[in-house]
Amino acid sequence: MAVETERERLDPDLERIARANLKELGDIRIDDVLSFIDRGIENMPSYMDLYRRWESQQWAVGDLDFALDRQDWLESSELDRKATLWSHRLFFNGEERVTSTLAPFVWAAPSPEIEIFLSTQMADEARHTAFFDRWWHEVVGTETTNLAELLAEIRPDTNEGYTELFYDRLPSTAQRLASNPKDIEAFIEGVTLYHIVIEATLALTGQRFELESMRELGTTDRGFYRGFTAIARDESRHVNFGIKVLQEAVREDAARFAPIIQKTLVECLPQTHSTRPILATSPSSAVPRVRFSSSRSTRSTSACGRSGSTSPPESWPAMNIERMGPEDQDRVMAAAALFDYPPRSDAVNRFLADPNHHLLIAYSGDVPAGFVSGVEVTHPDKGTEMFLYELAVDEAHQRQGIGTALVEALRDLARAQGCYGMWVLTDDDNAAAGATYRKAGGEVESQPLMFSWRFVR
């Protein structure tokens, strides 16, 4: 077969990431890795370009050094360990699931170039599984003597969405392809599920959250950071591949293929909604302080341990953010545990009745898990901006991305209200608040001094 041999030309910044070795990956941000996907959408590489990227982006699990990771582990609290294990079990198990179901996709490849690329992906997914196997043995420690035993030991008690995607839809789609490799419609459905829902939506989102949390903590020299960044770079190739397959299918016959893609997304994306917060946990030492807030209440950050529970639940229900209106006094009172002091009914009524005051509460199932409040402030020469007044997340519901989601929700509301910007003040030693605001897109503008006038109490 004649295959292309010319190497694709990349911009210098992408070339640096494309060529980085494991040590250099410690200096690279996940967002830079993900820019391969954005650029790929603008200027789609060929399947053989992606193959050649794979050739030049080889890395070895055996080259990683987990000594510092092990030291972190030994020094971390029981709570940190539980949270890290919860997140890594999902990734580890997920990598094994995608390794075990990819072969029928290779058999069903509609062209030799696709067959070649998918064969490289099989090697990648096996390496990702081996990465977690080694991390588990050297950082956590295990008595198991082979991978099958370890996988049985780590298999997470997951929620319905995870089970449906990894134990029902993925293997049944692979089985359809194995039974009839010429079923191109099953192939398109499978690529939508595998490359778009599982890899682009679930895996890369979780990886981004975890790697950025490690960057905030200054732990980018750990073996886990380097290896996980190499995994994210591999996943960016896989996602580029999936987008290309679907783009070509729709160009070839939109009436036939677009409804299959759409139906698969409509059916599967709700499953990721309940899976994503679980994947988006922080790394072992990333324990945010119990609550963080704007300058008005940072002096009360020692108020902690409001909820009793000290370990992550076995399964986190879906999170939902709701905006409180004038009729919601009772719901605010029911969320009293989230506030510094018990809410006063006169202040609650006044707050909710004022259209420039906003309160968003995050519910985990039916339980109030956190809130963000904001006030629109207007100045004659500038217009209106949103002041992020206070942010709080209940201890038992931390590590699920709720703080970031609340800040993003208030930011979106500010945009919708026509504000030209949003601002917040926080103490410079409040790392958890800083990390959350950065994750939600905020940038440090200055380091002001705060003066206050207190009229009562």
CB of 59 vs Fe ion, minimal distance in Å: 13
CB of 264 to Fe ion, least distance (A): 17
As a whole number of angstroms, the distance between CA 170 and CA 97 comes to 8
List the interface residues with Fe ion, window 256-285 (CB under 5 A). Answer: none
- Residue number, 128 or 358, with CB nearest to Fe ion: 128
CB of 96 to Fe ion, least distance (A): 10
Measured from the CB atom, the residue of 123 and 353 that comes closer to Fe ion is: 123
In the chain, the N- to C-terminal Cα span, in Å, equals 82
Piece in contact with Fe ion (CB under 5 A), picked from 151-159, 227-235, 340-348, 354-362: 227-235
Q: Where do the DSSP E strands lie in 221-331?
A: 319-323
215 binds Fe ion (CB under 5 A): no
Q: What three-state secondary structure class fits 321?
A: strand
* Three-class DSSP category at 238: helix
Q: Are 340 and 303 in contact (CB under 8 A)?
A: yes
Among the residue ranges 194-202, 324-332, 343-351, 431-439, the one whose residues contact Fe ion (CB under 5 A)? 194-202
Answer yes or no whether residue 238 interacts with Fe ion by CB under 5 A: yes
- The stretch near Fe ion (CB under 5 A) out of 61-69, 119-127, 136-144, 306-314 is 119-127
Cβ neighbours of residue 415 closer than 8 Å, sequence gap 6 or more: none
280 contact partners, CB below 8 Å, separation of at least 6: 205, 206, 209, 210, 400, 401
**Nearest distance from C-beta of residue 278 to Fe ion, angstroms:** 17
Residue 128 engages Fe ion in binding (rule: CB under 5 A): yes
Min CB(241)–Fe ion separation in Å: 9
- Tell me how far apart the alpha carbons of residues 228 and 132 are, in angstroms, rounded to a whole number: 9
Show the binding pattern over residues 51-90: x = contacts Fe ion (CB under 5 A), - = does not.
----------------------------------------
Segment lying near Fe ion (by CB under 5 A), choices 14-22, 94-102, 263-271, 275-283? 94-102
Q: How far apart are CA 299 and CA 417, in angstroms?
A: 30
**Is residue 97 at the binding interface for Fe ion, with CB under 5 A as the rule?**
no
Interface with Fe ion includes 222 (CB under 5 A)?
no
Could you give the CA distance from residue 157 to residue 269 in angstroms, rounded to a whole number?
20
CA distance 26 to 65: 12
Number of residues in the chain: 457
321-360 binders of Fe ion (CB under 5 A): none
In the bound complex, what is the minimum distance in angstroms from residue 129's beta carbon to Fe ion? 8
Q: Yes or no: say if 280 and 401 are a contact pair by the CB < 8 Å rule.
A: yes
- 95 vs 395, beta carbon nearer Fe ion: 95
Task: Report phi then psi at 276, rounded to 5.
Answer: -60, -45
Q: What is the spatial distance between Cα 186 and Cα 176, in angstroms, rounded to a whole number?
A: 7
**Minimum gap (Å) between residue 125 Cβ and Fe ion:** 5
Sign of the CA dihedral 386, 211, 214, 160? Answer: positive
- 387 phi and psi angles, rounded to 5 deg: -100, 115
- Of 128-136, 173-181, 354-362, 425-433, the segment contacting Fe ion by CB under 5 A is 128-136
Taking the complex as a whole, the smallest distance from the CB of residue 94 to Fe ion amounts, in Å, to 8
Between 235 and 395, name the residue whose CB sits nearer to Fe ion: 235
Q: Which residues bind Fe ion (CB under 5 A)?
A: 95, 125, 128, 199, 235, 238
